[in-house]
Structure 1
Amino acid sequence: MSDDEAIIQLVRNHFEALYWSEGEEPAWERFRADFLPDAVLCSAARPAQLRSVHGFIERMETVARKNLLSFEEHTRGMKILRFGSVAVVLASSELLENGTETSHDISGYLLVKSAGRWLIMAHAWDQADEGNSILEELYRERAGA
């Protein structure tokens, strides 16, 4: 598998672990496995706050899962800039909350290749809305990959 194919697979599969519904738990161990041990996440909420993977999971368990009966997120497109063992990815996603509420966001990833595997070093995202729309070329880029 090429580096770009491995990166596409990592980003696409990353959100599949966050799926939950009544009676089905998120796959947190699978989610954790995508990150370097000291990786940071920065959600769309401002002012910006860095969270560890553990802190992010804890927040999802105590806030999001109490308010959302079901959640799924699917990557719809991405752009990759890669040099050697470092890559930056912008990825567009579609989110489905409670089976009826659809929204979109853009994630920015800083990836490193270590011991032959691409891992997330940092992940930040922002919600799309009327004033912050997803660029069509990003939505289409690698959508079929």
Structure 2
Amino acid sequence: MESDRDKDVQAIRSLVARQFNSISWREGETPDWAAFERDFLPDAALYASARPLRSQTTGQFIERMSGLVGKTLHSFEETVLGSRIHVFGNVAVAVIACENVENGMETNRNVEMMLLVKDEGVWRIAAQAWDRQDAANPVTSQVWEPEGRSP
């Protein structure tokens, strides 16, 4: 029998999959910004890997990305490599290792971290931050667990 914790982990994995699907698009298409924004709390803060550090709302993120879609960024595919999800009551953190392919050729790996809260049975993202792989910080299996396994 599936425990409440297992159900929560699965619900968060589904949220992550929705997020990655909504922000991925092929040439000639656009991201599904409404679906992307739906999983965030209204005042959620996002922190990109760019420095200096700057907090942005989902609206600001969407506005910035929309300016790139079809201009310098013709396609974007984000794929989950694996994740670690820790749930305690109505709070959770998700560490997601992912691979991004921009314009069908430039591949990058990132680690995204989400702070999630559950309200009225629904998980929502309260904050999200991510950083890009580099020589000093490689994305390895020590960061995540393969999809389908939970801690």
Number of equivalent positions: 144
State the match for 1:66 in structure 2. 71
Displacement after TM superposition at 1:65 (Å): 4.7
User: Residue 10 in 1 paired to residue 21 in 2?
Assistant: no
1:49 and 1:120, CA in 2 relative to 1: closer, same or farther beyond 3 A? same
For 2:21, what is the secondary structure of its paired residue? Answer: helix
* More helix as a share of residues: 1
**Percentage of pairs with the same residue:** 43
Shift of 1:85: 0.4
Identify the residue that residue 111 of structure 2 maps to in structure 1: 106
Q: Any unmatched runs of 5+ in structure 2?
A: 1-5
Out of 102, 108, 113, which is 1:97 matched to? 102
| Distance in structure 2 (CA, Å) of the matches to 1:25 and 1:113 | 29
**Structure 2 length-normalised TM:** 0.89
C-alpha spacing 1:65/1:42, structure 2 compared with 1 (3 Å): farther
Matches within 5 A, 1:1-145: 2-63=7-68, 65-139=70-144, 141-144=145-148
- What per-residue deviation string (whole Å, max 9, x for no partner) do you get for residues 23-67 of structure 1? 211100000111011111000001110000000000001146521
Superposed CA RMSD: 1.5
SS in 2 for 1:11: helix
